[in-house]
Amino acid sequence: MRITMIGTGYVGLTTGVCFAELGHSVMCLDTNKEKIDLLKNGVCPIFEEGLESLIEKNSATGRLSFVTSYAEAIPCADVVFFCVDTPPGEYGKANLTNLLAAASECAHHLDGYTVLVNKSTAPVGTAKKIQNAVRNINPTASFDIASNPEFLAEGSAIRNFLEPDRIIVGTENEKTATMLKLVYAPLIEQGRNFLSVTIPSAELIKYASNSFLAMKVSFINEIADFCELVGADVSDIAHGMGLDTRIGSKFLQASIGFGGSCFGKDVHALVMRGQEEGYEFRMIKALIAVNELRYLTVIKKLKKHLGPLQGKTVAVLGLAYKAGTDDVRDAQTLRIILDLLDHAVIVRAYDPQAMENFKKIFRRSDEVTFAQSAQSASDGADALLILTEWNEFKSIDLADIKTNMSGTLIVDGRNIFERKTAEVAGFTYEGIGT
Ligand code: UDX
């Protein structure tokens, strides 16, 4: 099949490369020439395990190419996927400007029957808007519209694509569903779940899934805070709960709260979409409220041991919103470091992948000292503050790191250390819910 991906952001690029890996002929289109030039030279503009080698492999076979022109990428395609960013707009409502602009541009170049698929996460009703945008520009175009939400998590995106729990497609007719079945045929043949539903259902499955996962995180974080009051251990609670197959063990890791480009944006967008229908999502509002105050947990723990924070030095280990990515969008680390700076704390930060991205988006990054290792970040520090669960941090020699520090406090926002190990190394240990 000839597939065109519009947008080479995180989702568009990973999905396009994986479609080529499945054997399709894929063109990735982006109007950002700089990015396309990098990709043409085999350089992956994002950090995602295994992606660069798949780009190289599939470009070499001729199945994968990168272009900047709609005129080149659209007429030849059997299926076009929209993977354009839908950033939060006013009051958290998804902003569809880029997506609908891409649809209009695409409309000019349609030639022969084409299936247009929205993969960008966008509220219920968006596929219809794309359909209307295309019809307005090109009333005689022969096309069908579909929705095919993505469920890729950063750091494991390739595995998530090639070994999906489910493939969801929303279509208006059997013909479109059959086309999309052909696109995913190699995965369906492996026995992967393929669920064909209506377009509004497909659109809502994505929001409902992300909201549910975000709710699990906020839920366990509330339980974690209560554990500290009653002497329980949240890891035991999560383990005990997770053994019930109705609950499941995933997404019950107590933490500094969820971040990243999806959860926060999607839960807000769903609440806003609800409001448009006169519907109030009370549970989703509650999970948002829990997460919004989550950054205070580690600040309180620092204060408990260090007293007033002014002038104290804190070594922040981890800036990415989770391990395995260089992404800091909507990361709790941004809120936490901002609050530390507001308290006049001297912040020394280190992250194995995300420091450049952090510097780009954190408006007070000139007030942060960036170190080249966990060891050098902790030089002279009163406390270690762990914010991302990188494996590199799990293997830190605590006794060794302590020798260069002024203080002996670890606030472990990801529970990567055992209390006992930290205490044996001479630290005072504060985890989450332990
Ligand atoms: C998420 C969805 O998982 C994915 O299906 C969707 O396509 C995009 O959004 P992603 O944002 O990459 O993926 O990260 P995810 O692994 O879901 O984690 C989101 C946030 O929740 C991170 O900040 C993570 O640290 C936090 N989290 C996750 C926890 O705090 N505890 C957990 O148990 C799980």
Q: What is the whole-number distance in angstroms between the Cα of residue 138 and the centre of ligand 1?
A: 39
pLDDT of residue 208: 98
User: What does the pLDDT average to over 263-280?
Assistant: 96
**What are the tens digits of pLDDT across the range 318-352?**
999 999 999 999 999 999 999 999 999 999 999 99
Q: What is the whole-number distance in angstroms between the Cα of residue 62 and the centre of ligand 1?
A: 34
User: What does the pLDDT average to over 245-269?
Assistant: 96
Instruction: Please give the number of the atom of ligand 1 that sits closest to the Cα of 261.
Output: 11
Whether the per-residue pLDDT at 90 is higher than 90: the answer is no
Whether the per-residue pLDDT at 257 is higher than 90: the answer is yes
| Residue nearest atom 12 of ligand 1, based on CA coordinates | 153
Buried b (16+ CB within 10 A) or exposed e, 160-187: bbbebeebbbbbbeeebbebbeebbeeb
Rounded to whole angstroms, the Cα distance separating 129 from 411 reads 47
φ and ψ at residue 39, rounded to 5 degrees = -65, -40
Question: Ligand 1: which of 235, 262, 389, 415 to mutate, most ligand atoms within 8 Å of CB?
Answer: 262
Transcribe 178-229 into DSSP letters.
HHHHHHTHHHHHTT-EEEEE-HHHHHHHHHHHHHHHHHHHHHHHHHHHHHHH
Is the CB–ligand 1 distance for residue 255 below 6 Å?
A: yes
Rounded to whole angstroms, the Cα distance separating 319 from 169 reads 35
Question: pTM for this structure?
Answer: 0.95
Question: Ligand 1: which of 222, 255, 319, 351 to mutate, most ligand atoms within 8 Å of CB?
Answer: 255
CB-based contact 376:317 (threshold 8 Å): no
Is the CB–ligand 1 distance for residue 208 below 6 Å?
A: no
Sign of the torsion angle spanned by Cα atoms 166, 168, 173, 179: negative
pLDDT of residue 94: 87
User: What does the pLDDT average to over 84-113?
Assistant: 93
- For residue 88, give both structure tokens: 């939060």
Question: Ligand 1: which of 235, 258, 261 to mutate, most ligand atoms within 8 Å of CB?
Answer: 258
User: What does the pLDDT average to over 120-143?
Assistant: 96
State percent of the chain over pLDDT 90. Answer: 97
Whether the per-residue pLDDT at 248 is higher than 90: the answer is yes
Buried b (16+ CB within 10 A) or exposed e, 282-310: eebeebbebbeebbebbbebbeeebeebe
Q: Is 262 a catalytic residue?
A: yes
Is the CB–ligand 1 distance for residue 416 below 6 Å?
A: no
Q: Are strands 166-171 and 143-147 parallel, antiparallel or unpaired?
A: antiparallel
Q: Average per-residue pLDDT in the chain? A: 97
- For residue 243, give both structure tokens: 């053994």
Is the CB–ligand 1 distance for residue 241 below 6 Å?
A: no
Nearest-CA neighbor of 284 among 296, 276, 297, 274? Answer: 274
| 146: helix, strand or coil | strand
Residue 68's pLDDT band (cuts 50, 70, 90): very high
CB-based contact 389:416 (threshold 8 Å): yes
- For residue 167, give both structure tokens: 């493939």
pLDDT of residue 105: 98
| Residue nearest atom 19 of ligand 1, based on CA coordinates | 258
Residue 91's pLDDT band (cuts 50, 70, 90): confident
**What are the tens digits of pLDDT across the range 118-131?**
999 999 999 999 99
Rounded to whole angstroms, the Cα distance separating 237 from 239 reads 5
Is the CB–ligand 1 distance for residue 262 below 6 Å?
A: yes
